[in-house]
Amino acid sequence: MGLCHKYVLDNKISNSGYFNNFNARLYNPQSPREEGGWKIFLGGHMGNPVLRITTNAMTIRTGWEPDIQVRVKEFKTLSTKEYPCVNDSNYSELDCELESFEEVFRAKGGCWLPFMTQKSLATVPKCLTSLDFNNSLKLADELLFYGLWTRDECSCLSACNDITYEAFSDSSANKSSTTTRVRIFYNDLTYESVHEEWAYRIISLMCDVGGSLGLLLGASVLTFIEILECLCAYCSRVCCIKKTKVNVLS
């Protein structure tokens, strides 16, 4: 369990189609087995994706030749009381989920495994024997695959600005082969962008209130200013009368 290889795209995509973007050939020196293979996870560069790789990654068996088409969606949401989100470019929901998993894992007696973060070394004890290591691996499988830990248990919020990658695979198989050819590409150079905006802002509220008052009372902004002017004149006049009375008595 862990991240074997990570590839980061650091340049812009100028072409789409099968023969552009990522092409790889994976080799399994052992005899092909049904349970053997690889897991591929498509995501952003932020955060540690080890939990998503274990539970949500795409499985590829030995001898398969998948063509994986990728679609990109950009989400820019608003943080509301009912649906809060984190508006921080350095925040990662993946790291938050991993920290939550490590807390439960430590509470159930697990020791530090290679897929965990260096930060968790301060709280999770190291595996001193091979038995501790194997027991911790079994505990991790029980937590992830038998419902002893779910993402609903952690209080991790989603990022307000997020990019998701949807994968659609079309694969052919050659059971006698010990190699696997993988092609990951964009079918086109467009992406879907979803933005949330406030439908009713404070300016719209003031305009509607002013329009309603003007319709019902014949009032306007100048009317409110005139009322404030009258109140100020009345208050200043009262203060001047009081001062005059005090001077007469003295």
**What is the arithmetic mean of pLDDT over 118-123?**
81
**What is the arithmetic mean of pLDDT over 62-86?**
89
Please answer whether residues 165 and 58 qualify as being in contact, where contact means their C-beta atoms are separated by less than 8 angstroms: no
**Can you give the pLDDT at residue 248?**
47
Domain range enclosing 234: 202-249
Q: Does residue 187 sit in the same domain as residue 206?
A: no
Tokens read off for 187: 């079918």
The number of CA neighbours under 13 Å toward the Cβ of 76 is: 8
Q: Does residue 111 sit in the same domain as residue 165?
A: yes
**Can you give the pLDDT at residue 245?**
54
Q: Does residue 128 sit in the same domain as residue 209?
A: no
- State yes or no: pLDDT of 33 exceeds 60: no
Q: Does residue 67 sit in the same domain as residue 177?
A: yes
Q: Quick check: is 11 in a domain?
A: no
Q: Does residue 89 sit in the same domain as residue 46?
A: yes
Please answer whether residues 154 and 100 qualify as being in contact, where contact means their C-beta atoms are separated by less than 8 angstroms: yes
List own/partner pairs for 90-93 with CB under 8 A and 24 or more apart: 90/46, 91/159, 92/46, 92/47, 92/48, 92/159, 93/47, 93/156, 93/157, 93/158, 93/159
pLDDT tens-digit series, residues 174-190: 777 778 888 888 888 88
pLDDT tens-digit series, residues 202-223: 888 888 877 776 666 666 667 7
Tokens read off for 45: 């560069």
Q: Does residue 184 sit in the same domain as residue 216?
A: no
Q: Does residue 175 sit in the same domain as residue 152?
A: yes
pLDDT tens-digit series, residues 147-157: 788 877 788 88
Looking at the structure of the chain, the number of domains it has is: 2
pTM of the model: 0.69
Q: Does residue 96 sit in the same domain as residue 189?
A: yes
- State yes or no: pLDDT of 119 exceeds 60: yes
- Taking every pair of C-alpha atoms in the chain, what is the biggest distance, in angstroms? 116
CA atoms of 58 and 103, how far apart (whole Å): 27
